[in-house]
Structure 1
Amino acid sequence: MNEQIRPVLTGKKALVVGIANDQSIAYGCAKAFREAGADLAVTWLNEKARKYVEPLAQELEAPITAELNVAEPGQLEAVFDRIGKTWGQLDILVHSIAFAPMNDLQGGLLDCSAEGFAKAMDISCHSFIRMSRLAAPLMKDGGTMFAMSYYGANRVVPNYNVMGPVKAALEASCRYLAYELGPQRIRVHAISPGPLKTRAASGLKDFELLLNEAAKKAPLGELVDIMDVGYTCAYLATPFAQRVTGGTVYVDGGTNIVA
């Protein structure tokens, strides 16, 4: 535990969706929230993923764990129903999931199938809207929602392909949700980390080259890690950021400002 982190989120309840292993951005978020005192609900994609995620959930002392595949009817509703019955509230939501069929991801946008585009949009973007709809009634005293984006939402990144338009839609969704949920004191953030060595990123062509280029461009001269992202989200979930909502927050060492 980082001794510099004070328990500013004590009593807060956080649902973190998207942990695949200890290199996941979602794990960095969960760990930072826990260090700040929050209680966690953690999900895994399926039984295959469970053996990697469940030990992490135990390490984080998560009282609520569950399987969650947002493409399976009823699973998302079941998770929120359990949170409502167990906690009666939710203060923080992290959506850190993305998917596109491999053929559609590795081909150019012109080659992306309608089915592949629709699936990528549903899992990577619309599932956040569905989560927000279920989470909002549990955020009785306000709350904070996070969705993970990437620089390729706003600039062309070679080989990012279909995920560029999908992440652009996700960032736009965050803006509109921030507008709609603002009267309920619910804040919504798109978080845009620099490139990280995660399992999800490994599906991108020439990803090592992307990492090297990002490190060279960053004004701070180095890549970020999952805890950099986690601590940023932990800050945004505190009252210190109570007037911040709707924007895309870059956690990339400044890479996004360099042409």
Structure 2
Amino acid sequence: MSDPQPDYLGLAGKSVIVLGVANKKSVAWQVAQGLIACGAEVTFVVRSEERRASVQKLIGSRPVFVCDVEFEDQIQRLREDLIATGKKFAGLLHSIAFADYSDGMKPFHETPKRAFLRAMDISCYSLMALSNALKDVLAEDASVVTVSISTTRMASENYGYMAPIKAALDSSLAFLAKSFSRFSRVRFNAVGPSLLKTSASAGIPGYIDSYLYAEQVIPRKAALTTEEAANVAVFLLSPRSSGIQAQNLIVDAGMSTNYFDADVIRRAMRPE
């Protein structure tokens, strides 16, 4: 039997940037906790000064920087702030997404252009913009991980235009991996969870019903937890995933294998 390896993931002492913590329900928060448990040093980046004040209460003295990715000057300021730390970062978690559902859900073909392009800017283009701006602070073999979804081919009305945007995010992984390969070994991957119970998802009209339905379809009859998705992100951020590049690693507790569960079909076709 081999000796135990307390730092099996190889994250102890590594510095990792985590973008997107809103509160303790955030995927980014759970990823950060997993990284810290593995001995990594986490640098937090949040959207606003108000968010920084609330996150600082959760993390104490750990550094928190502010960057609203809609604004190029703030991305450049983040670059300068991180350069000033003198660190090389072994990983970057991009857990940022936004869609405006304040007017309720519209049929997909009625999606407002402005809403679509803003969501694309924040949810997809920001990964490209941040990767480019921060390339000089990333280690030569750093791992960049974003948060996608388990499928972009299911036309869920209450997710609407965000699915095509996540599809663009998934596609960008291959192009980022290719372009970065010209000067580094930086990897770009995504974790693709099924429905999660987060504060952000709670703002999607009809999401709760979809979440409860997912629980019925998942073979174990229990929804995927945020921690389960975060654990996969931690793995992707670690050197142990060095052979994985330009992939969306699906984490759905088997939901995609069980859409035609006999009990679910019976209840749908013969409601009592």
TM-score, normalised by the number of residues in structure 2: 0.86
- Paired residues for 1:46-195 under 5 Å: 46-58=48-60, 62=62, 64-103=63-102, 106-182=105-181, 184-195=184-195
Query: What is the CA-CA distance between 1:152 and the residue it aligns to?
Result: 4.6
Q: Does 1:11 align with 2:13?
A: yes
Please, which moves more after superposition, 207-216 or 18-27? 207-216
Q: Which runs of 4+ in 1 moved over 4 A?
A: 4-7
Q: Does 1:226 align with 2:238?
A: no
Change (3 A) 1:46 1:139: closer
Count residues with an aligned counterpart: 253
Query: What is the CA-CA distance between 1:95 and the residue it aligns to?
Result: 0.9
**DSSP 3-state at the match of 2:136:** helix
Q: Which residue of 2 aligns with 1:33?
A: 35
Which amino acid in structure 2 is aligned with residue 120 of structure 1? A
Q: Which residue of 2 aligns with 1:200?
A: 200
Whole-Å separation in 2 of the counterparts to 1:31 and 1:128: 22
CA shift digits 1:188-237 (9 cap, x unpaired):
11211121111211121211111111112223432222221222122222
Counterpart pick for 1:43 among 21, 42, 45 = 45
CA shift digits 1:139-166 (9 cap, x unpaired):
2331111111113523222311010111
Whole-Å separation in 2 of the counterparts to 1:80 and 1:188: 19
Which amino acid in structure 2 is aligned with residue 72 of structure 1? F
Query: What is the CA-CA distance between 1:176 and the residue it aligns to?
Result: 1.6
Please, which moves more after superposition, 80-89 or 243-252? 80-89
Rg larger for: 2
Whole-Å separation in 1 of the counterparts to 2:105 and 2:28: 24
Whole-Å separation in 2 of the counterparts to 1:141 and 1:206: 43
Which amino acid in structure 2 is aligned with residue 35 of structure 1? A
Identity over the aligned pairs, expressed in percent? 25
Which amino acid in structure 2 is aligned with residue 14 of structure 1? V
Which segments of 5 or more consecutive residues in structure 1 lack a partner in the other structure?
none
CA RMSD of aligned residues (A): 2.0
**Is the 1:57–1:65 contact (alpha carbons within 8 Å) kept by the matching residues of 2?**
no
**DSSP 3-state at the match of 1:33:** helix
Q: Which residue of 2 aligns with 1:255?
A: 255
**Is the 1:187–1:245 contact (alpha carbons within 8 Å) kept by the matching residues of 2?**
yes
Whole-Å separation in 1 of the counterparts to 2:137 and 2:166: 26
